[in-house]
Chains A and B, each alone.
Chain A
Amino acid sequence: MDIERTLFEIGALDQMALQDTPLHRLDPRTKLITAMGFILTVVSFGRYELAALLPLTLYPVALAAMGDLPAGYLLRKLLIASPFALFVGMFNPLLDRTPLLFIGSVAVSGGWISFLSILTRFCLTVSAALILVGSTGFSPVCMALGRLGMPRIFAAQLLFLYRYIFVLTEEGLRMVRARNLRSFGNKGTGVRIYGHMLGQLLLRTMDRAQRIHQAMLCRGFDGEVRLVRHCRFTSTDVAFIAGWFVYFGLARAFNLPQILGGVVTRIMA
């Protein structure tokens, strides 16, 4: 993962979260609950279901539109994150050759269908996660998790981590640049140098931790991280959750495209 890229990526999603749209104004817990419900629904489909999954594309598409989240960016992130799912899913067409579907005279094997199903699941679940952060922001998501039962220490940990990722990544970036300027080809980029670089960074990090702790003590820190957030659940939130869960339930219980297709073919016939 490119270090310069990373800062940009995190910053970009966070920037999106600062917009003001009806979606952004919803309580973070609402979006979190809906996203988890969505992912659970997607994941609960059987391995050979492909068409039945498709109605669920409405969720990411609608939310991305409502929240003004750039489609190009989402697609790009999907592509970057795809290798593992592709790699594992790739074996399905190779190993499962029993034909399941005939389009005219072309036999489509079960393996291909399950592979496409995997890809669809991948797109759906990953975009749901990205949209969650893009429409809510990392800190509000942590707060929401805290409100929903996550231990406070872990929420504080997430927030501190997030805060200092930028600081440390920049330090790391400076070291990498310095190394690049003094290494040629593959000389100077081996494990030993890496160990030294990381060692220095680690020591500086530990020192920084101590200074931060001092700064915290100076402002009265007593061990408990207090966070103030005003979260209000309105009727819009309830309607949002209820509406989407009903839709998820319908999409799960009935193979909607099948029904739709059947209706259309009957009309055309």
Chain B
Amino acid sequence: MSHHIVEVRDLRYAYPDGTEALSGVSFRIHHGESVALVGANGAGKSTLLLHLNGCLVPSAGEVRIGDFPLTRSTLPEVRRTVGMVFQDPDDQLFMPTVHDDVAFGPLNLGLPEEDVEARVQAALATVGGEGLAKRPPYKLSGGEKRSVAIATVLAMSPSILVLDEPTSNLDPRSRRQFINLLRAFEHTKIIASHDLDMVLDLCERTIILQRGKVRADGPTRDIFADDRLLEECHLERPLSMQAR
């Protein structure tokens, strides 16, 4: 894994109807960091994430992945480097079987069949889903779907993992397994989430977005201890940090 930096400079984005979703977002994430993106609904988290691998094109500003600015020509390379896991796993698992879904990325990369097979096996093994290979997606539980969704992305050997609300709708056991799984990854991780306790567990750095702007960017513990800041951003302390 090379040293990939994710850098965003004065990013602006407006919806087709004119409303501004991002009004000048800037940050720099270094290789191996685990960064959480938190904020109220509508703050612009998902929109921001979609810029990181070119799904959305900014109205102004720049996105740099590694040493490349994100442009049309660097898009394929960026998509190989930045693996994105979406909010709804059903949007991500669109092939007849789990095996087909995990193989989708490598096949599109043009890899020969044996390599594809090897990657599928490795990716499924990493998420603990070897037994799921032949299953159709509709037969998976919520936790299994999430794991497989990650596997589909891992098969492309990304250096950076971007996840949008990964623990929503998971039962406590699946959630814990998932957190442990993520903890074991050495990739750079950028996670948008409402699950502040997971953020506390996983991410040493947190960025708070409020109405399309970066409101705070610093060590997680410090940010979650700042009650006034959290209040202003329609957030509150993680449950584990609240006195009960």
A and B: interacting chains: yes
Q: Chain A interface (Cβ within 8 Å of chain B)? A: 11, 14, 18, 138-139, 159-160, 162-164, 166-167, 208, 211-212, 214-222, 226-228
Closest to B99 in A: A228
Shortest Cβ distance from B103 into A: residue: A228
Contacts of B222 in A (CB 8 A): none
A52 to chain B, nearest CB (A): 40
Binary contact readout B87-118 vs A (1 if CB under 8 angstroms, 0 otherwise): 01011111111001001110111000100100
| Shortest beta-carbon distance from A186 to chain B in Å | 34
What's the Cα separation between A222 and B76 when bound, in Å?
10
Chain A binding surface, main DSSP class: helix
Chain B residues engaging chain A, CB cutoff 8 angstroms: 50, 53, 55, 76, 79-80, 83-84, 86, 88, 90-97, 100, 103-105, 107-109, 113, 116, 134, 136-138, 152-153, 156
Complex-state Cα separation, A162 to B80, whole angstroms: 28
Q: Please name all residues of chain B whose beta carbon is closer than 8 Å to the beta carbon of A167 when the two chains form the complex.
A: 90, 138
A79 to chain B, nearest CB (A): 27
Which A residues lie within 8 Å of B83 (CB)? 218
7 A-B interface contacts by CB (under 8 A)? A160-B94, A163-B138, A208-B90, A211-B86, A214-B86, A218-B55, A226-B104
CB distance from B51 to the nearest CB of A (A): 12
* Identity of the chain A residue whose Cβ is nearest the Cβ of B162 in the assembled complex: A218
Q: Which residues of B contact A214 (CB under 8 A)?
A: 50, 55, 86, 91
Chain B contact residues, majority secondary structure: helix
Selected contact of A228 from candidates B55, B116, B138, CB within 8 Å: B116
Question: Closest chain B residue to A159 by CB distance?
Answer: B96
- Would you call B105 and A220 a contact (CB within 8 A)? yes
> Are A220's CB and B109's CB within 8 A?
yes
Closest A residue to B120 using CB positions: A228
- Least distance between B242 CB and chain A CB atoms (Å): 34
Q: Residue on A with the closest CB to B152?
A: A219
What's the nearest-Cβ distance from chain B to residue A229, in Å? 9
Cβ-defined contact, B55 with A217, below 8 A: yes
Which chain B positions have C-beta within 8 A of A11?
A: 138
Top 9 A-B residue pairs of the complex, sorted by shortest distance between their CB atoms = A220-B108, A219-B105, A166-B138, A139-B96, A211-B91, A226-B107, A215-B92, A214-B55, A218-B84
Q: A139-B96, A220-B79 are in contact. Are A163 and B137 (CB under 8 A)?
A: yes
